Structure 1
């Protein structure tokens, strides 16, 4: 229906208003859509559709002579790919490297095979056997093409680029526009290095001795990314429930957006699905040097998970890490692997889902010291964050990862009151979204929902 309306408008414009040029109808359509549905501007498809049409108008219009059949068939796909690259980049969407190749064959297949069969079958639907047969052929042709697309996507999956600073994105946008200009334009080929600046932007390194920490907003679950100057660690992998895998939908894209090419460690506090459910998706999407878990028996065998060894310590780029697990725990939440991180005297303690009994055991260890950043045990459950635990650690800031309106009542009102009485500042993912802070810099966190246009930003 949309295609028919658009073709009709184009024919009407060429018949009655051709002297006004091609940009006026695009502008009128742009404003018409916004008048009828202003919220369409929040959808990526709105900008991609109009940008693609604008690229075609720019590249096809105003030329001295028409392109040959082969050029008219193949060139638009590559030009659209170049023109939409900066748009996909700024919208934070994956970039398909096979899309131009797929579209080269999709356009004639759909236009010359699927669509004629479907229209003819619809017209002849009243004729026994013939109408149904034609629609069956159209469906088979479409299904066959979907199989080809699946094969292509499997051979070369979509690329998720790292976040690019605004300046580099603007340079890449100018480069894309230069490449869309006719061949005779001077310095046109300089558009390639300008465009590739967004593909290989200079990376902002983490200062030595500090850690960049991001608590992702994964609903009723948990996932935290820790990056030192040359290393990356993921503490818990987000939840998975049936077909909904937040590891694949949120955690893995966020890692790639941050420029993480490999994980030095995937630390799964325990085997519950809200903490370890996304681990398989992470393992498929990134190389992982080492996997550590509080419950090795409840995790997929292909991960090769090693046990959490209490007392293990190591150092990355001037930052110290230490593990602890309650030896008296049998299974479940109390077996959570606890991680302490120290950077320039500032401390972070990640506790998984330990309960009050495990907290009492932890108070007898070297980890029971005043802590600047504390991940609230068990999402702020009433069975955790005991009074003695909170008073001994005296956290300056508390991270709570949970889903809004969750069925468990996390965080419990008594726990929240306990932290507030201690003077702790609460960072709740359900209220603030993703939370980012620099351990070792002694600065407050940046929360996603304090940022402008947070609804379309992958990370603060």
Structure 2
């Protein structure tokens, strides 16, 4: 039984690594072969093929429900019902629309929409909206999150921005949203958003500093409903009935065991529905159902069977769940605990077992976190040591009854006030721990090194005294400190990061690293902090020798301050130092300055006669082995003429499209004089400026210049000095990525 279930799970999970989906004909053929294997009693092979077929069919259905390419960027009037819990963030609201209909086009079943400066939007309402529709898309950077995969896993077929709308019908059947509004209105000593997250699993209202505290201390799972909450509630209900029966207070006419099991599962299922029934809750409910069923039959339950049953149940219900990082973390955490606590000789004291559990989970999840490109909390074992019982034994027993008793005057509000106070104390402690030990973003590992890390972790999780366990630490150290691939002398590795409507170039020689522009920032949306800084760390950059900011516009220099706070930066130069943040301590770039790093030549130029911000851009020329790249910032046609006059029309191999391909840049004079092989364009896919302009793209085409566009190719990697081609991350085929 276990072998067949494992084979089925592997077939369902194989979807995650497919570059393209097989055709319907091949899927049908695989299904027939799988059924034949079952008939001939080759069950593992048959179940594997049937699991893979089911996953592929489900994924194909989700892809077919995406917005049609011809509707991408169009504005349509449509009608639909708001589902889920809308996320209100300052002046904007993000929500999901189900069963949207339009008279002019066939629309996806579900869409995710944003409305800036719009009215209050509540779940269950029906709206008529004017929406600029977009196909699912996201920024794609080295070892970073994949938004397209996440949208597909949630079966979001389109995104869009609302331009106008009117409410057609009020909310109907949206009890979770109504409960959220009531919880948000109680006095929880300033922790209303945290209380909503704990009770309803809705973290959209959490402040940014709360999220950062939870991530730094590895305690996100405490407020995003996990199996721990489900198991605790079920255990309390089961223990209450069992205790009453032992004391003789349970009615003898009712057999206590079936009632205890049924009530425990009902309580867990009710809490799961309250929390939105996400993947961790699904896994916990299935495992709990198996355990309770076996308890009713007085049978010994093996260690891996509940986990396998839960894994298959979740994937059969939603095969696309394997595209979500939370799926892997949820099952991996339980697998680590089952692996380490089963089959041990002797018993551990409760405190020793609890402390060891936190250490083992932190160690066991390390390979998973690195593979997913997620931060690693070094303080998680210590934080969870006190935070888990604090939430489980103090806050949750007050929050849930308080929520149920809200209709009773003063009682529900009082319990929630106490729960909020306990949450406030907890967050104060976690905040101090986060300041002492922030989250660590490790360098990405190659597959061979990751395999060594995984093997070392497994060995360390084995019981003491077993052979080979002693090799765990050496394997971990080898994976951590093994020599990484280094840029050869005389070459430079260039990354044009995908930062939307902005610019950020990482240039690495053998011993040095510089950053040209730092990505955009607008309010709390700081892509320097969210994209550039994590990308630098995952690329193994420990410090920046130079951060050169072409000019002070927010789309070029907005992320600079976050980067300087997160990494040592030895020197900051800029084209407009007066407009840059004083904390950057930026020095003016010096026109005509030249230097060499590891056999690579760098030259800076700035137009002294520039009359505006764009014309004052610092321009960087990089030459490695005779191959040249020009980073031109937001230089316009007048600045290009000045550069040509000063630098005597240096021939180029690669050109960063000046001003993102604006109509006022990339003049014919520049292109004819420099004759680049290709142009690197950094811009937002749906930017409001129309970049790159059609006339500019036509000039590139006429001059035989190949365009490499971040909105199409994702982040671009170029090894200057080899005369090779730039490689876009979208060239790494994944079946969920839009090839357009």
The alignment's TM-score, normalised by the length of structure 2, stands at: 0.60
Evaluate the alpha carbon distance shift between residue 358 and residue 454 of structure 1 in structure 2; reply closer, same or farther with a 3 A threshold: farther
1:417 aligns with 2:698: yes
Deviates more, 1:74-83 or 1:359-368: 359-368
Q: Which residue is 1:31 aligned to?
A: 312
**Superposed displacement of residue 71, structure 1:** 1.4
- Superposed counterparts of 1:11-90, under 5 Å: 11-16=292-297, 18-90=299-371
RMSD (CA atoms):
1.7
Shift, 1:14, TM fit: 3.6
| Alpha carbons of structure 1 residues 421 and 105: separation in structure 2 relative to 1, 3 Å | same
Aligned: 1:296 with 2:577: yes
Distance 1:123 1:217, change over 3 A: closer
Q: Given that residues 226 and 233 in structure 1 are in contact (C-alpha distance below 8 angstroms), is that contact kept between their aligned partners in structure 2? A: yes
How far apart are 1:146 and its partner, in Å? 1.9
Match of 2:482 among 194, 201, 204: 201
Cα distance, 1:18 vs structure 2: 4.3
Q: 1:405 aligns with which of 675, 681, 686?
A: 686
Q: CA deviation at 1:22?
A: 2.5
How far the C-alpha of 1:301 sits from its partner, in A, is 0.6
Shift of 1:195: 1.8
**d(CA) in 2 for partners of 1:337 and 1:454?**
40
Question: What is the rounded CA distance, in whole Å, between the counterparts of 2:709 and 2:610 in structure 1?
Answer: 28
Q: For residue 346 of structure 1, what is the aligned residue in structure 2?
A: 627
Residue equivalent to 2:176? none
The one of 259, 277, 283 aligned to 2:564: 283
Alignment-derived partner of residue 538 in structure 2 = 257
Matched, 1:108 2:400: no
Alpha carbons 1:340, 1:367 under 8 Å: kept:
no
Partner of 1:134: 415
1:360-380: per-residue Cα shift (whole Å, max 9, x none)?
111112262110010010000
CA separation of 1:450/1:59 partners in 2, compared to 1, >3 Å: closer, same or farther? Answer: same
Deviations 1:82-114 (A, max 9, x none): 110000011111100011111110121112211
Distance in 2 (CA, whole Å) between partners of 1:360 and 1:126 is: 73
Indicate if the aligned counterparts of 2:520 and 2:558 stay in contact, CA closer than 8 A: yes
Inter-partner Cα distance in structure 2 for 1:418 and 1:278: 32
Q: Contact 2:574 / 2:588 at 8 angstroms: preserved in 1? A: yes
Counterparts of residues 322-341 of structure 1 (less than 5 Å): 322-341=603-622
- Separation (CA, whole Å) in 2 of partners of 1:363 and 1:263: 30
User: Which has the larger displacement, 363-372 or 43-52?
Assistant: 363-372
Q: Indicate conservation of the 8 Å contact 1:448/1:454, yes or no.
A: no
2:294·2:300 contact (CA, 8 Å) conserved in 1? no
Distance, in Å, in 2 between the alignment partners of 1:15 and 1:312 is 80
Out of 213, 221, 225, the residue aligned to residue 494 of structure 2 is 213
Partners of 1:31 and 1:321 lie apart in 2 by 56
Which shows bigger deviation, 76-85 or 115-124?
A: 115-124
Q: Distance in 2 between matches of 1:18 and 1:336?
A: 74
- Shift in alpha-carbon separation, 1:454–1:34, aligned structure 2, 3 A: closer
1:220–1:402 Cα contact (<8 Å) kept: yes
Structure 1 distance, partners of 2:734, 2:538, is: 17
Check whether the contact 1:236–1:266 (CA below 8 A) recurs between aligned residues: yes
Secondary structure at the aligned position of 1:364 is classed as helix
1:98 aligns with 2:379: yes
Partner of 2:508: 227
CA contact (8 A) 2:548 2:573 kept: yes
Alpha-carbon separation, structure 2, partners of 1:223 and 1:31: 43
CA distance in 2, matches of 1:230, 1:367: 31
Following the alignment from structure 2 to structure 1, what is the Cα–Cα distance between the partners of residues 440 and 461? 22
Query: What are structure 2's unaligned runs of at least 5 residues?
Result: 1-224, 231-267, 270-283
5+ long unaligned stretches in structure 1:
none
Question: Shift of residue 39 of structure 1?
Answer: 2.1
Conservation of the 8 A alpha-carbon contact between 1:161 and 1:199:
no
Given the superposition, is the C-alpha separation of residues 367 and 136 from structure 1 closer, same or farther in structure 2, using an over 3 Å criterion? farther
Secondary structure at the aligned position of 1:28 is classed as helix
CA–CA distance in structure 2, aligned partners of residues 75 and 93 of structure 1 = 23
CA distance in 1, matches of 2:352, 2:312: 32
Question: Secondary structure at the residue paired with 1:168?
Answer: helix
Structure 1 stretch displaced more, 374-383 or 3-12: 3-12
For 2:336 and 2:421, how far apart are their aligned partners in 1? 33
Query: d(CA) in 2 for partners of 1:367 and 1:209?
Result: 24
Give the C-alpha shift of residue 147 in structure 1: 2.3
Match of 1:380 among 641, 652, 661: 661
Aligned to 2:20: none
Say whether residues 1:272 and 2:584 are aligned partners.
no
Shift, 1:123, TM fit = 5.2
Q: C-alpha separation between the residues in 2 aligned to 1:455 and 1:203?
A: 30
